[in-house]
């Protein structure tokens, strides 16, 4: 399972400028994976959502994906 591709697909469907979506993978020495997400100007609100609901939902999907992958996956949303 490719967590990076999953995250890109989810976020690209939410934003106005899908070409500006960028995900950088960082593998840690403990086997976990950190995904750094950045989006285009003006799209941050769509990714975070009202009260952080969309971001929480995305993190929930990534948590499920991490259990399938058998390793921890962390999501960082960068401006």
Residue 18: helix, strand or coil by DSSP? helix
Sequence length of the chain is 79
Q: Work out how many domains the chain is built from and give that number.
A: 1
Q: What are phi and psi of 42, to 5 degrees?
A: 90, -10
What is the overall mean pLDDT for the chain? 93
Of 57, 59, 15, the closest CA to residue 40 belongs to 15
CATH code of residue 70: 3.30.300.20
Domain span holding position 72: 3-78
Concatenate the DSSP letters of all residues of 37-63 into one string.
EE--TT-HHHHH-GGGHHHHHHHHHHH
Mean pLDDT of 37-66: 94
pLDDT digits (tens, 9 = 90+) for 13-32: 999 999 999 999 999 999 89
């Amino acid at each position: 399972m490719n967590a990076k591709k999953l995250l890109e697909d989810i976020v690209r469907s939410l934003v106005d400028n899908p070409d500006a979506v960028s995900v950088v993978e960082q593998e840690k020495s403990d086997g976990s994976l950190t995904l750094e997400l950045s989006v285009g100007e003006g799209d941050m609100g769509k990714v975070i959502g009202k009260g952080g609901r969309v971001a929480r939902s995305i993190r929930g999907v990534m948590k499920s994906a991490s259990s399938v992958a058998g390793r921890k996956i962390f999501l960082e949303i960068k401006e």
